[in-house]
Amino acid sequence: MHSLLCMLKDTDKLEGIRSFDEFYSIYEGYLQRDLDIIFRRSFDGDSIGSKCPMILPSLLTRGCISSATPISDGGAKYNFCTWCLTGLVNLADSLSIIKQMVFEENRFTLTELTRFLEANWAGYEDKRSYIVNNGRYFGNDDDYADLLVNKVTASVNAFAEKYTPYRGGRYLFGTLTGYELSHISFGKISSASPDGRYAAEPFAASISSFPGADKGGITAYLKSAAKLDGRLLQSSVVVNLQMDRTLVDSKEKRERLAALLRTYFDLGGIQLQINYLSAEELITAKREPEKYKSLRVRVTGFSGFFTSFDDELQDEIIERHLHTL
């Protein structure tokens, strides 16, 4: 994402671009420049790290004893060096918006887009609303946006092949944003992005859709997630699913959920984790409904969009969640 935001700031280079393919190949140049810095720093960092070999973990890692070499010098049998691609979905969405709205629908130019982003959408709220309401986003079983994730990870992997980590082996990629919460901290220092994200807002946590953009429901989201190419994401992939706990409150419904998940893995899904909703999240959803358009909750004999309910009902559901915690 950093590379894309840098590219969009070089307005003089944006003028002549006529097609998305041309745009993407120039973008790859920026990506390569950034990856080169990252890989070189990583190599230097690891070489400094090797001055203080980690003896105990090396003793416990396969290969280090037989090769008489610590982990930090490449003694382990499996020597991969892994990177997490934070903001991957925001990047794919941003590229999708650029492809759709700049090059296909001619709604605005790249230079205009840069102006929106620099203003952090202030004064261009109509443009942002239009993008968010009509853009083609990851998570809707729409190849247009979904396959852009694979396109980007393919580019990243292709460049990485030219580099060898200090410890040997090769660089692998994943989407894990773990307890360091890099999607929040990286978001904080990043300007607004073409997918409609405001400056300093968090990036999507791992493979989650843009807030409110997964309008196609749970089946479409799972199918999008199942399209991720596992060969390009050999490190951790995390797919988050938010669910209302009442969707699994009977044996019958749990069986349906099990069937849903079975299909996801049959389709090629790699990983999945389900978050049951907390009351806090529902409170946020009530306060910021535009981000929770797709949040479906089960009420009694039906489920519906949480944000479409009136205040009292929202409060009531929140109350209920407070009690189930």
Partner 1 sequence: MNKGMIFDIAHGSFVDGPGVRTTVFFKGCNLRCRWCHNPESRSPIPQMMFYKNKCSGCGICKDVCPNYSEACDLCGICTKYCSTSARKLCGRMWTVDEVMAEIEKDVPFYESSGGGVTLSGGECLMQADFCAELLKRLKEHGVHTAVDTCGFVSREALDKVMPYTDVFLYDVKAIDEDVHIKCTGQSNRIILENLKYLDEQGKTTQIRIPYVPEWNADQIEKIRDFLSGLKHVDEVRVLAYHNYAGSKYEALGMENTLPLRLPNREELEQAEQILH
Q: Pick the stretch among 69-77, 163-171, 211-219, 231-239 that binds partner 1 (CB under 8 A).
A: 211-219
Answer yes or no whether residue 216 interacts with partner 1 by CB under 8 A: yes
Distance, CA of 215 to CA of 226 (rounded, Å): 17
User: Is position 307 an interface residue for partner 1 (rule: CB under 8 A)?
Assistant: yes
Size of the residue set binding partner 1 (CB under 8 A): 42
Neighbours of 265 (CB within 10 A): 13
Q: Is 275 in the site for partner 1 (CB under 8 A)?
A: no
Using the rule CB under 8 A, is 223 a contact of partner 1?
yes
Q: Which two tokens stand for residue 185?
A: 């901290």
> CA dist 289 to 151, 173, 199, 295, 303, Å?
32, 34, 19, 9, 17
Alpha-carbon gap, residue 269 to 266, rounded angstroms: 7
Cβ-based nearer residue to partner 1, 179 or 302: 302
Q: How far is the CB of 14 from partner 1 (least distance, A)?
A: 25
Q: Does 144 bind partner 1 (CB under 8 A)?
A: no
Nearer Cβ to partner 1 (170/286): 286
Please identify, among the stretches 31-39, 110-118, 157-165, 302-310, the one whose residues bind partner 1 according to the rule CB under 8 A.
302-310
The minimum distance between CB 264 and partner 1, in angstroms, equals 9
**Identity of the amino acid at 209:** S
CA separation for the pair 239, 176 (Å, rounded): 9
C-alpha distances in Å from residue 325, one per residue of 279, 297, 319: 8, 16, 10
The residue within the footprint of partner 1, chosen from 43, 80, 186, 309 (CB under 8 A), is 309
Nearer to partner 1 by Cβ, of 167 and 296: the residue is 296
Question: Taking each helix axis from N to C terminus, what angle separates 20-49 and 143-160, rounded to the nearest 10 degrees?
Answer: 40
User: How many Cβ atoms are within 10 Å of 116's Cβ, its own excluded?
Assistant: 21
* Residues written for the chain: 325
Query: Of residues 253, 280, 319, 322, which one binds partner 1 by CB under 8 A?
Result: 253
- According to the binding rule CB under 8 A, does residue 263 interact with partner 1? yes
CA distance 325 to 96: 38
Nearer to partner 1, 190 or 307 (CB): 307
* 167 near partner 1, rule: CB under 8 A: no
Cβ pair 208, 202 in contact under 8 A: no
Q: How far apart are CB 286 and partner 1 at their closest, in Å?
A: 11
Q: Least Å distance between CB 34 and partner 1?
A: 32
Which of 25, 47, 111, 133: binder of partner 1 (CB under 8 A)? 133
- Rounded alpha-carbon distances, angstroms, from residue 28 to 24, 148, 165, 199: 6, 13, 21, 23
Q: How far is the CB of 231 from partner 1 (least distance, A)?
A: 21
299 binds partner 1 per the rule CB under 8 A: yes
| Cβ distance to partner 1 smaller for residue 218 or 279 | 218
User: String of b and e for 225-261 (b: at least 16 CB within 10 Å)?
Assistant: bbbbeeebbbbbbbbbbbbbbbbbeeeeeeeeeeeee
**Binding footprint of partner 1 on the chain (CB under 8 A):** 125-126, 128-130, 132-134, 141, 216-220, 223, 247, 253, 255-257, 259-260, 262-263, 266-267, 289-290, 293, 298-304, 307-311, 313
